[in-house]
Structure 1
Amino acid sequence: MTSRHITQGDTRHGMVVGTASRSLGTWLYYVRPMPNPNVLQAVTNLACVPLRLLITGVLALLDLLTARASQRGEYLANAAAARAGSTEGAVGLMDRLMVTDSIVTTLHRETNSRRMRGSGRGGRHDADGLWEALAAHLDSVPEPEFERQRRVGALRGHSVDATHPPTHLRRRLLLNGAPASAAVTAGDSRTERVAGELAEVRGTLAREVVRDGYGNL
């Protein structure tokens, strides 16, 4: 991820600015207020206020100065993704990111139902088919819902996070350019090998999600 940002000219992930930003973030973590403090900790919290304000201010200034380069890097990364996986694939991924709320809802429902089924078997939770259920939910989302989400996203300025440009602008830029075909493809045999290599990890993660809950991971 970092190398991708550096390649696209995102100075936030460069040697100087990136190191400074990570260092300031670490310092901010260490001077954060202690919860439920005793008298001595309350005094320490108060003494650290000027330092926290200083670090927060410098981080905000770094973000402001590098915002344009960061967003340019994201647009270039989108173009690279379209060249690798096709314009259709890159745009389709953006559309799916707009329905993440429904994915989270489905994940909670699936994990809860599996916990209830497992409560009668000595507390063993059945995690089989969890990821397939999420994939099936995504496949079931109709095109009108994606279109509605795109309109809402354009009105509200939907963005993956604060460092990404608005999703509808990223999508429009790709669609306004020449359509790109996928330069990287995987045949059935390679897809099966990848699935085989990930099978154990997928199963372990599914069991942890069902056991501990999505919000606790």
Structure 2
Amino acid sequence: MRTLALWHHTLQPIPDPTALELAVNALYALPRLLVRGLLVLLVRLTSRAGTRAEYLADRLAARTASTQAAVGLVDRLLISNSLAVLLRSEANRAALGGSRSAREAKARADELWGLLTAYTASVPEHEYERQRRAGARRGHQADATHPPTHLRRACLLAGEPATAQVVPRVRQNERITTELAAARTEVARRLLRDGLVH
């Protein structure tokens, strides 16, 4: 699907074409339609299996961390646009700040996760409720391959609530945190340096 999408993008008509580019646009028309047709067919053939897989993944998350935790994660998807704006803002601020020492860059990268955590914690429950209602009306989805968020939430809440089957002990949490520290810093550094959030 990704390859077909890339080909479809590559074969898009050239805007404001010259005479030669107009001929190229005409030449690309049939291949573009064929690629688009294959892409649509592939999406239709796999979308039901993909949707089912998403619901099963949500159920697995509920069994692993608890239904309450899985529902909380699905709710966080509703504020993903606000988080993306915050990330873009921080990436712009970092770009305007110029080059920094490695220690300052690491500290700034670590601050990013604290900022995102604080922002998420500051969103009141009534805002999540408003987002849930609005999302149900407009069919909010994390992306085109995921089922609507409100349906994922309803599916998680249907039936008996699950308790967490995986509860790491304090020492395990410390080891996990230590193991992921370098990756956590590097991801934040890239987000701030490259502005990877679009």
Asked whether the two chains share a fold, i.e. TM above 0.5, the reply is yes
Give the total of aligned pairs.
Answer: 192
Instruction: Provide the identity percentage.
Output: 47
Residue 188 of structure 1, aligned match among 170, 174, 179: 170
Task: Report the TM-score when normalising by structure 1.
Answer: 0.75
CA RMSD of aligned residues (A): 2.6
What does 1:35-184 correspond to in 2, within 5 Å? 42-115=22-95, 118-119=97-98, 123-124=99-100, 126=105, 127=108, 128-184=110-166
What does 1:7-18 correspond to in 2, within 5 Å? none
Residue 213 of structure 1, CA deviation: 2.5
Structure scoring higher RCO (CA < 8 A, sep ≥ 6) equals: 2
Q: Distance in 2 between matches of 1:66 and 1:214?
A: 29
What amino acid sits opposite 2:138 in the alignment? R
Change (3 A) 1:195 1:24: same
Q: Deviations over 1:57-100 (max 9, x none)?
A: 12212322333332222222221221122111111000001011
Change (3 A) 1:197 1:36: farther
Change (3 A) 1:158 1:199: same
Asked if structure 1 preserves the Cα contact closer than 8 Å seen for 2:64 and 2:165, the reply is yes
Q: Distance in 2 between matches of 1:176 and 1:96?
A: 19
Residue 114 of structure 1, CA deviation: 4.3
Asked if structure 1 preserves the Cα contact closer than 8 Å seen for 2:84 and 2:197, the reply is no
Change (3 A) 1:81 1:101: same
